Amino acid sequence: MDLQIALVLAQDGIVNGAVYGLMALALVLVFSVTRVIFIPQGELVAFAALSMAALHTGGVPHTLWLLLALALATLLTEAWRYRRGAAVDWGATLLWTVALPGVACVLVLLRPTSVLAQALATLSLVVPLGPLLYRLVYRPLADATVLMLLIVSVALHGVLVGLGLLFFGAEGSRTPAFSELRFEVGGLTVTGQALVVVGVALVLVVAMYLFFERSIIGKALRATAMNRVGARLMGIPTELAGDLSFALAALIGAVSGLLIAPLTTVYYDTGFLIGLKGFVAAIMGGLASYPLALGGALLVGQLESFSSFWASAFKEVLVFTLIIPVLWWRSMKSHHVEDEE
Amino acid sequence: MTPRRLTVFFVALLALAWGFLPAFTVTLLSYIGLYALVAAGLVMLTGVGGMTSFGQAAFVGIGAYATAWVCTSPDVAAALGGQVGPALLPWLGLLLGLLLTAAVAWGLGAITVKLSGHYLPLGTIAWGLSLYFLFGNMALLGGHTGISGVPPLVVAGFSLASPRSLGLVIWAVLLLVLWAMHNLLDSREGRAIRALKGGRVMAESMGVNTAHYRLKVFVLAALLAALSGWLYAHLQRFVNPTPFNLNIGIEFLFMAVVGGAGHLWGAVLGAALITLLKAQLQDLLPQLLGSSGNFEVVVFGLLMLLVLHRFPAGLWPTFARITQRWVKAGAVPPPQAAMALAQQHLPPAGEVLLQAHEVTKRFGGLLANNAVSMDVKAGEVHALIGPNGAGKSTFFNMISGVDDASDGEVRLMGRVMTGRPSRDFAALGLGRTFQHVRLLSTRSVLENVALGAHRRGRRGWLAAMLRLDRAEEAALLAEARQQIERCGLGPYADAPASSLALGQQRVVEIARALAGQPAVLLLDEPAAGLRHLEKQALATLLGQLRSEGLGILVVEHDMEFVMNLADRITVLEFGCVIAHGTPAQVQADPRVLDAYLGGSDDLVEAAA
């Protein structure tokens, strides 16, 4: 290996690492607020990438039917709860079940031709899936243990992967790059797409930082993450926190899907591996620390990129085995046993 | 009809019908048996031990690949140089598979057992994926095409090549395993495993090394999976990576959860349901959807979500309730003559047992305990009182090994306990109760109390599985029953712990602590929720224990109870000791009256 190759590999690693970093961010966010280990995060990535590809070829992505079905189911569930005397936040409910799916319908059925309009339509398709899945699948089990919620996540992952195969078929798709730009820096070819990925990832991270540090809703989410009961006593509705964290996770997933679609061929089950690599990164931060998770993501990206050069057949083995030293390191740090929630 | 007779009846029915069943049914039953073996391990892990794994298929893979490699590789044949006959090779393969599995499971478990429960399953997902890729990429193991030509098992010159004969072996192994697991759960070690799910802090306080037990349960489940893999390889006579991928690992967990993760027979029910359903769906779904693919996972996933929402304990309890009309639990056999448990000698009255010296605890900027010093002597009742938020619970945690002090030291029986886990406190003779009752709510009072005597038994897992522990078990249960009688809960001994009133559950916790024969007893609000007469009975019991030479520390809000019982009292406020002395001294202390302003009526009343 010479320096030239090393630089190319490092660049690849940074680009992939940026996407894993976004995954890790979403996973830490959802886990800290709702205690859900959101395994299906990767499926949202694949749904976004494949929906974008379907829009690009002028078709109607079947994600739309999933969205409408989930919206209807959620609406019926909320109506049923309301009849049984539960308090229902109709504003938020209508936003997720009527307004946003409506926007998605319009955007998709207009058959957008520009890349930007297609990207917007994709976002409108995937983002509402987050809160809808939360309300249908996780909220009824809000008091279950982390372990139970994890098993639920894995079941949901199975359902979504199966649906992905049904919707998009077994063939993969790839979309055209957002930017065809290429230029040379010191002998290294930098593609515009790579810059778009890293740039958008950075913008999202900064936006999330500002959201959590500056906005009152972001602070409320952080409060919920630190102490659910305390936050509820302070008048922060935990349901809002659940909706919002899942919506943000879905947004991050959708954006990640748009970013990777031009870089690699995405299959219906590609998202799972991407999501898991995000997990390996998130675990480095103990599913709690954002900076450690981002650092972990870059490490995972580099490891993957360099191992694909040296031992490409064992690339996945090496990346997932990384979890072992990471867990060992975290285990060394823990001391007294603690009760689980 | 008792469950035992019913089981025997069905086993006999299956054995008689085995020779006449159609070949397809025999094959299907063989697979159900293989899957149930894996699911039984998951029941032990998930439903009983409160952990889980999505990577059991990878362990099945190790078991299958180990024997396939040993039986077919020319390298192995060359290395053995004809010393081992071909009939023995599968047994060598089994040994290798079990050893490899134990090593891998031990390694993976050891790094995750100390962490919160969700790290182990996350680790198994990553591990299940890695191993699948590894199987597919190792030339030694035939890559993605796998290894064919695995020979059949031969036992005593009798070939088990036909599925009908091997299926019989599979079901015999499954039934033996279920019997052994049932025995294990019905023992001292089984109680310790169940305690893992009831909260690790509680289990540690009973002297259970929770990390060690979690590891052992995980290895046990992995070994059962490897055993299933060994049988699978000799049934299929061919292995490739596909049946060992992560999806199959997840399917195994579905079997355990749908069947009922807390019940061994749930594993069989779940394996049967999922296997039959899968066979149906694989025909039906492609027709329905017009394209082929792994669509049964959608139905399985939805089924799983439905079960988790509607039947969180799985289908077995519902099934058992329906059949309850015809099946009555058999009578419990009377305990045999009990052997004697080891007795500890209590230190002489007046000796300092537990000593806290300038114990300080900081949480960030908050000073929860500031240089608190106190001691507990043999043969006295020492009460720790103070308003809410005074730092009593924090202090209680530090003198029981749940948490470490930021500064200062805690000594138990003269030994410095800094950094020691609470099971070491239990080993030195400290028994405790919890402010928020921590019992295994679905288990009987007797079992809960017997858990307290955990440290007084010795017999291990193998002895329990083979029922070699009955004498010791009878002694432990007799001890538990005696402590329950002593605490006045005799009539409730066989009732589930959750059926008792909260105050009585607190007393169960005292009985549990006493079953460990402690020298020091730490009681966290023992009188809360008790009625007047029950409080009197409790005071009498504590007085009796004191006269036997126990040192007792009570944290309590009931002033009348404390003032009448305690020999010495320490008062905490805002993390500092504000008074210390006999009840009379403390009641006269102006700082105490100040601290209890509003509550001082209590003190005055009690003094009157």
Q: Which residue of A has its CA nearest to B46?
A: A147
Q: Supply B572's token pair.
A: 């905490």
Contact across the interface for B133 and A316, Cβ inside 8 Å: yes
Q: What is the pLDDT of residue B435?
A: 86
Of A155, A280, A324, the CB nearest to B305: A155
Chain A residues near residue B114 by CB distance under 8 angstroms = 331, 334, 337
Q: Is A169 on the interface with B (CB under 8 A)?
A: yes
Tell me the backbone φ, ψ of residue B554, rounded to 5 degrees: -120, 125
Q: What are phi and psi of B581, to 5 degrees?
A: 155, -165
Cβ neighbours of B250 in A, within 8 Å? 154, 158
> What is the average per-residue pLDDT within B568-587?
88
Is the CB of residue B298 less than 8 Å away from at least one CB of chain A? yes
Instruction: Give pLDDT tens digits for B343-353.
Output: 777 888 888 88
A65 contacts: CB under 8 Å, gap ≥ 6: none
Read off the pLDDT band of B608 (50, 70, 90). very low
Between B133, B295, B403, which is nearest A317 by CB? B133
Tokens in use for A214? 């500056």
Between positions 75 and 114 of B, the ones with CB within 8 A of A are: 107-108, 111-112, 114
Which of A327, A332, A335 best probes binding to B when mutated, by most B CB atoms within 10 angstroms?
A327
- Chain A interface includes B129 (CB < 8 A): yes
Closest Cα to residue B410, out of B367, B364, B372? B372
Q: Does B130 touch chain A (CB under 8 A)?
A: yes
* B58 in A contact zone (CB under 8 Å): no
The confidence score (pLDDT) of residue A309 equals: 83
User: Within an 8 Å CB–CB cutoff, is residue A316 touching chain B?
Assistant: yes
Percent of chain A predicted with pLDDT > 70: 97
Is B402 at the interface with chain A, CB within 8 A?
Answer: yes
Phi, psi angle pair for B429, to nearest 5°:
105, 30
Q: What local confidence, expressed as pLDDT, does residue B599 receive?
A: 52
Q: Do A151 and B52 touch (CB under 8 A)?
A: yes
Domains in chain B: boundaries = 3-287+294-323, 347-429+518-536+546-608, 442-517
Percent of chain A with pLDDT over 90: 28
The domain of A63 spans 3-333
pLDDT at residue B42, rounded to an integer: 94
What residues pair up with B383 in beta bridges, in sequence order?
Answer: B554, B569
| Segment B176-222, tens digit of pLDDT | 999 999 999 999 999 999 998 877 889 999 989 988 999 999 999 99
Each residue's pLDDT tens digit, A78-128: 999 999 988 888 888 898 999 999 999 999 888 888 888 999 999 999 999
Question: CATH number of the domain at B3-287+294-323, out of 3.30.70, 3.40.50, 2.60.40, 1.10.3470?
Answer: 1.10.3470
Q: Is A227 in the B-facing interface, judged by CB distances under 8 Å?
A: no
Q: Which of A37, A146, A156 sits opposite B301 (nearest CB)?
A: A156
What is the predicted pLDDT for the residue at B272?
93
In 3D, which of A274, A256, A273, A231 has the Cα closest to residue A119? Answer: A256
Indicate yes or no: CB of A313 within 8 angstroms of CB of B137: yes
Maximum alpha-carbon separation in chain A: 69
Residue A309 forms contact with B (CB below 8 Å): no
B164 vs B216: CA distance, rounded Å: 34
CB contact residues (below 8 A), chain A span 177-206, against chain B: none
Q: Is residue A340 part of a domain?
A: no
Category of B312 on φ-ψ map: left (φ > 0), alpha (ψ -120 to 50) or beta: alpha
Residues in B closer than 8 angstroms to A152, CB to CB, are: 304-305, 308
Answer whether B435 touches A (CB < 8 Å): no
| B282 or B226, greater pLDDT | B226
Q: What is the percent of chain B where pLDDT is above 70?
A: 95
For B247, the closest chain A residue by CA position comes to A158
Under 8 Å CB-to-CB from A130, ≥6 apart: which residues? A44, A246, A247, A248, A249, A250, A251, A253
Cα–Cα nearest to B37, from B25, B49, B26, B29: B29
pLDDT of residue B64: 95
Residue A337 has its nearest CB partner, among B200, B300, B305, at: B200
Positive or negative CA dihedral for B108, B91, B66, B148?
Answer: negative
Report the pLDDT value the prediction gives residue B262, as an integer from 0 to 100: 83
Number of CB pairs, chain A paired with chain B, less than 8 A apart? 153
Which of B52, B53, B112, B114 best probes binding to A when mutated, by most A CB atoms within 10 angstroms? B114
Which chain B residues are within 8 Å of A336, Cβ to Cβ? 401-404, 421
The pLDDT, as a whole number, for residue A40 is 93
Distance from CA of B186 to the nearest CA of A (A): 25
Contact between A159 and B404 using a beta-carbon 8 Å cutoff: no
Which of A276, A313, A339 is facing B125, going by the closest CB pair? A276
Mean pLDDT of B74-86: 80
Q: Which amino acid is at B532?
A: H
Residue A339 lies in a domain: no
- In chain B, which residue's Cα lies nearest the Cα of A165? B293
User: Collapsing DSSP states into helix, strand and coil, what is residue B385?
Assistant: strand
User: Which CATH code for domain B347-429+518-536+546-608?
Assistant: 3.40.50.300
Contacts for B396 with CB less than 8 Å, ≥ 6 apart: B384, B435, B522, B524, B555
Element (H, E) at B72: helix B56-72
Structural domain count of chain A? 1
Q: Which of A124-128, B44-48, B77-81, B473-477 has the highest mean pLDDT?
A: A124-128
Bridging pattern class, strands A188-191 and A182-185 = antiparallel
Taking only the tens place, the pLDDT of each residue in A172-226 is 888 887 777 778 777 777 888 888 888 988 898 888 888 888 888 888 887 877 7
Give the pLDDT confidence of B280-333 residue by residue, as tens digits: 888 887 777 777 677 888 888 888 888 888 888 888 888 888 887 777 666 566
Query: B 196-235 residues with CB below 8 A of A?
Result: 199-201, 204, 210-211
Count of other CB atoms within 10 angstroms of residue B441: 14
Non-local (6+) Cβ contacts of B75 within 8 A are none
Does any domain span residue A338? no
User: How much is the average pLDDT of A269-281?
Assistant: 88
The pLDDT, as a whole number, for residue B603 is 53
pLDDT given for residue B127 in this prediction:
81
Extract the tokens encoding A263.
Answer: 């870089």
B417: DSSP letter: -
Q: Residue A26: what residue type?
A: A
B311 with B340: CB under 8 angstroms? no
Mean pLDDT on B546-563: 89
pTM, two decimal places:
0.88
Q: What are the tens digits of pLDDT across the range B476-510? A: 998 999 899 988 888 998 899 999 888 889 889 99
ipTM: 0.86
* HSE of A224, CA atoms in CB hemisphere, 13 A: 26
B410 within 8 A of B399, measured Cβ to Cβ:
yes
Q: Is B306 on the interface with A (CB under 8 A)?
A: no
Whether the CB of B300 is below 8 Å from some CB of chain A: the reply is yes
Interface test with B, best of A41, A147, A272, A329 (most B CBs within 10 A): A147
pLDDT band at residue B602 using 50, 70 and 90 as cut-offs: low
Residue A19 C-alpha from the chain's centroid: 9
For helices B23-42 and B264-289, give the axis angle rounded to 10 degrees.
120
Interface test with B, best of A336, A338, A340, A341 (most B CBs within 10 A): A336
Confidence of residue B597 (pLDDT cuts 50, 70, 90): low
Mean pLDDT of A240-264: 91
**Which chain A residue has the Cα nearest residue B294?**
A162
- Give the best-scoring range by mean pLDDT among A95-109, A274-288, B583-597: A95-109
* Contacts made by residues B102-110, CB under 8 angstroms, sequence distance 24+: B102/B219, B102/B222, B102/B223, B104/B59, B104/B62, B104/B222, B105/B59, B105/B218, B105/B219, B105/B221, B105/B222, B105/B223, B106/B215, B106/B219, B107/A324, B108/A324, B108/B218, B109/B214, B109/B215, B109/B218, B109/B219, B110/B215
Closest to A245 measured CA to CA, from A34, A12, A2, A3: A34
Closest-CA distance of chain A to residue B9, Å: 35
The pLDDT-based confidence of B338 (bands split at 50, 70, 90) is low
Q: Does residue A154 carry a pLDDT above 80? A: yes
**CATH label of the domain that carries residue A259:** 1.10.3470
DSSP H helical ranges for A215-322: 216-226, 228-233, 238-260, 270-284, 290-310, 315-321
Instruction: Say which residues have a Cβ less than 8 Å from residue B400's Cβ, sequence separation at least 6.
Output: B205, B422, B425, B430, B432, B522
Q: Where in B144-203 does DSSP place strands (E)? A: 147-148, 154-155, 158-159
Contact A331 B108 (CB under 8 A): no
Closest chain B residue to the Cα of A328, Cα to Cα = B111
Both tokens of B315, joined, read: 């289908």
Contact (Cβ atoms closer than 8 angstroms) between residue B122 and residue B53: no
Taking CB atoms and an 8 Å cutoff, what residues of chain A touch B404?
335-336
Distance from the B228 Cα atom to the nearest Cα atom in chain A, whole angstroms: 23
- Per residue in A304-317, pLDDT tens? 888 888 877 777 78
- Spatial CA neighbour of B49 closest among B92, B132, B113: B113
Average predicted confidence (pLDDT) for chain A? 86
> Three-state DSSP class for A40?
coil
Task: Note the pLDDT of residue B38.
Answer: 96
CB of A114 less than 8 A from some CB of B: no
**pLDDT reading at B600 higher than 60:** no
Ranges A282-286, A323-327, B8-12, B317-321, most confident:
B8-12
Instruction: Supply the mean pLDDT for chain B.
Output: 87
Q: Which 229-288 residues of chain A touch chain B by CB within 8 A?
A: 273, 276, 279-280, 283
pLDDT digits (tens, 9 = 90+) for B405-451: 888 889 998 888 888 888 999 998 899 998 888 998 888 999 999 99
Answer yes or no: do B130 and A328 touch at CB < 8 A. no
Per-residue pLDDT at A341:
44
The residue with greater pLDDT, A257 or A220, is A257
User: In 3-state terms, what secondary structure has residue B510?
Assistant: helix
Residue A176's alpha-carbon distances to A260, A315, B413, B446, in angstroms, are 11, 26, 74, 69
* Model pLDDT, residue B143: 82
| Segment A136-162 mean pLDDT | 88
pLDDT digits (tens, 9 = 90+) for A36-79: 889 999 999 999 999 999 998 888 899 999 999 999 999 999 99
